[in-house]
Structure formats: C-alpha cells, structure tokens
Amino acid sequence: PGKVCIIGSGRGYDAVMFAKKGFDVTAVDFAPSAIDALRKLSKKEKVGVALVQRDLFTLIPEYLNAFNYVIEHTCFCAINPKRRLEYEELVKKILKPEGKLIGLWFPLDKTIKEGGPPWGTTVDEVKSIFNKGWIMEREEFPDLSIKSRDRREKMIIFRKK
C-alpha cells in the first residue's frame, strides 16, 4: 500500500493499525516513553514499525521525499503555533510528489489564546497554511470520533502538488 509516516505517533495505536493493513510504517515521536510504549505494542501485535525518536523538525534531509502518506493526529496541536508554517514545509518535504497528508485536525473549539498544548486551530487556519503546493481532496467530520471529540475534530486530506 505504500510508505506512511506517523508524526507525533504517541503510544502508536495508529502506527500499529497501518502496519496491520500492510503499510510500511515509520513512527516519529520525540518522547522516549512514547517510543518505548510503541516498541512494546508493535512487538505484542507482531508488526514491524520503524521507530524514530527525535524532533520531527530534524527529519530533513534523511527523509526527503520518503513517504506516500503522512498521518496527522494530534501532532499539529502539540507544537507551538509559531512553528505551524515550518510544520507545513516539513510535511511537504518528507512527502513524495503526489503524496497525501491525512489529517484529523483538533481541537477546533479552542483558541490559541487559551494556550496549550493542545493548541487550538480552525479549519480556515489549516486551509490557509496548506494553500500553496497542495490540493485539498476531502473534508468531513468523521462519523467515528470518540464522544469527547465529536465535532471538535475534522478530517481534511491534502495532496502535495
């Protein structure tokens, strides 16, 4: 199916799910405890996941044009909003041409002024950040959000031009 990068992978549930579906998964998280938990989970579930413990902003040049997909699920809201344009540039660089950023953007009901993490965002902000060199392919509120995130997160998929 292709190469997937899960940035800010946390404990790795998404990484394991994609690996079970046959994807070549690289999970990146800066926290040693998250990588350790993912190592244990992937071993328990008997799947291979490449584990990368480092700051996601240091993935270039090593991972330039390396992935078909980047999965965004609570990484964007964890980084300082002042670095969001840098985040967009990084994602663009690690994706192959025509690669896709599949994002579950959260929390949509919180302002940046309220502090973080998680730092709030809006659909308009996400679209404005990913407006150059990207094509928005899909936008919808997911049917399967957990109750505490219902209508507080939105899936938006962007394809790199």
The per-residue pLDDT for 94 is 99
Main-chain phi, psi angles of 111, to 5 degrees: -95, 160
Q: The pTM is what?
A: 0.95
* Sequential pLDDT tens for the chain (161 residues): 999 999 999 999 999 999 999 999 999 999 999 999 999 999 999 999 999 999 999 999 999 999 999 999 999 999 999 999 999 999 999 999 999 999 999 999 999 999 999 999 999 999 999 999 999 999 999 998 999 999 899 999 999 99
Specify whether the backbone of 150 is left (phi greater than 0), alpha (psi in -120 to 50) or beta. Answer: beta
- Per-residue confidence (pLDDT) for residue 46, from 0 to 100: 98
Question: What does the pLDDT read at residue 156?
Answer: 99
- Please check whether residue 102 is in contact with residue 70, taking contact to mean a CB–CB distance below 8 angstroms: yes
Residue type, 114: E
- Residue with tokens 């929390």, as numbered in its chain: 107
CA distance 107 to 51: 27
Nearby residues of 98 by Cβ (< 8 Å), 6 or more positions away:
159, 160
- Start-to-end Cα distance in the chain: 20
Q: If you ran DSSP here, which 8-state letter would residue 113 be given? A: G
Joined tokens for residue 75: 């990484």
List domains and CATH numbers for the chain. Answer: 3-160 (3.40.50.150)
